[in-house]
Chain A
């Protein structure tokens, strides 16, 4: 088995022990981290592998969260059908929005995704009949997959961990598949890829749809955890935060966005109890990482490690996400002191 395979399994085992080491507060926080990590990894299919920076990714996350809530509480569907329906609706909207956004690339692409995201936010906020507007919607009871209750902090954490691990495994397969290679090729040399017979537009669109699908799965985790969804789930703030996670951690790696999700979620939830201006702290971390590790923390530390070890043993795979916050502290404290 490859080194990265072993590293992933060790990381997964470490993550499985989280509930034994922490209280409910931190277990819940970890569930939240897993949800955002999946969200960030899904966005990274676009940003890192596809070279398409989107500022509207919360749309699919939020559509799935609203969708499952509406289908379950208003339309009265059962849990499983609601979940499938919600993911289908979110993926279809990604398919449609992708057609619109992919008319452009670069900054124009970013602006179109931003605009589309804001349309979804506007609907969530203003279409009170459908979404109850600013009040948000309650999602009364978590589902019981295979009859198992996931109401306690620990059981919900394991539920999130399984969903997260399975999803990331699928995304990992995609990234390493022939399609993944074509996607990276289309990012680096679109014109050349066309001349090699590749359908660059279709490659990008397929990545866009897939990215929306996995964001929708993260959206389900989100609403199951919060048991509540409000326009915040589809806000620009949300889209920007997940983009920050992706870029901060390192957009060209699979583990980077996970590390980014750990840092951002921890700063948001922990630092905010001590410092009022946690947004500024997040900004500071981002600025420092952009200055000292412009490609993101994971590639940055990989480079540092391989430089220390000399060329004999280049660091092949990123550190497992479980150790992410340890790393997070380093650049900030190093340079701030």
Chain B
């Protein structure tokens, strides 16, 4: 078997008596589109937080292309090719869209320690940022402030910031949350245009979009993997129905 893009084994995390992650193991192949579903409180975002390093698991291992991440700080994991969007938007509202993407670009460049040159003069960075914005359909809005944009535009900006870093593994935390139907369609089309050299793990509640997008699905419940498999397998599995529909 080739090296997995993301391999999680025996991951566990508890807050006092509350177990949020109970022995999760999963394997995501390079280029795969993986969907993670589960009811509220299933531990989906907590899982993401452990992959990115916002939370330290109690035990287990997380490997990115074979390399152990657990000992690394968040910023070093990002340098290895991990990117993420947030369910609750965390952007820089008083800055322009371009500036937001430039901050993202700077994150992986040594020039972030440049104390002297004017950032405004770095047209190379702004060109790259413009490219990323065009990719998500925000090419015309680069000079607007984030505070003046709509929710749907901010979701796209989140994506642009992640994609600008040319990640190997992209974690999407509910990229469609709070969007209108039109915007949902637009963003999901956008997701299908992401090249295959990016492996995507997505948390999403919108089943129409998510099921169409994903090849492999993992169902989490109370911090455990309940079902895992292809779209058809997971939909047919009685345990999926049980979790979502009750007995």
Chain A positions near chain B (C-beta within 8 angstroms): 173-174, 176-182, 184-185, 188-189, 191-200, 206, 210
Residues in B with CB closer than 8 Å to A196 are: 78, 103-104, 106-108, 161, 165
Interface check B114, CB cutoff 8 A: yes
Contact status A176-B161, CB under 8 Å: no
Contact status B75-A194, CB under 8 Å: yes
User: Which residues of chain B from 115 to 144 have any CB-CB distance to chain A below 8 Å in the complex?
Assistant: 115-120, 122
Complex Cα distance, B90 from A188, in Å, reads 9
Q: How large is the interface on B (under 10, 10 to 19, 20 to 34, 35 or more residues)?
A: 35 or more
How many inter-chain residue pairs (CB < 8 Å) link A and B?
87
Contact of B117 among A177, A182, A192, A195 (CB under 8 A): A177
Contact status A197-B122, CB under 8 Å: no
Interface check B21, CB cutoff 8 A: no
Interface check B86, CB cutoff 8 A: yes
List 15 additional A-B contacts (Cβ < 8 Å) besides A178-B113, A194-B54: A173-B116, A177-B115, A177-B116, A178-B111, A178-B119, A178-B122, A179-B113, A191-B90, A193-B103, A194-B53, A195-B84, A197-B79, A197-B165, A198-B75, A206-B113
- Tell me whether chain A's interface is mostly helix, strand or loop, or mixed: helix
Contact status B119-A177, CB under 8 Å: yes
Contact status B117-A189, CB under 8 Å: no
Residues in B with CB closer than 8 Å to A192 are: 86, 90-91
Residue of A nearest to B79 (CB): A197
Residue of A nearest to B111 (CB): A178
Complex Cα distance, B107 from A189, in Å, reads 13
Contact of B115 among A179, A188, A198 (CB under 8 A): A179
Chain B positions near chain A (C-beta within 8 angstroms): 52-54, 73-75, 78-79, 83-84, 86, 90-92, 94, 99, 102-104, 106-108, 111-120, 122, 161, 165
Residues in B with CB closer than 8 Å to A191 are: 54, 90
Residue of A nearest to B121 (CB): A176
Complex Cα distance, B118 from A176, in Å, reads 6
Contact status A181-B106, CB under 8 Å: yes
Contact status A173-B107, CB under 8 Å: no
Chain B nearest CB from A310 CB (Å) reads 18
Residues in A with CB closer than 8 Å to B78 are: 194-197
Contact status A199-B75, CB under 8 Å: yes
Complex Cα distance, B114 from A184, in Å, reads 14
Residue of A nearest to B118 (CB): A176
Residues in B with CB closer than 8 Å to A178 are: 106, 111-114, 117, 119, 122
Contact status A198-B107, CB under 8 Å: yes
Complex Cα distance, B103 from A185, in Å, reads 8
Contact status B106-A198, CB under 8 Å: yes
A173-B115, A177-B116, A179-B115 known; A195 and B52 CB under 8 Å? yes
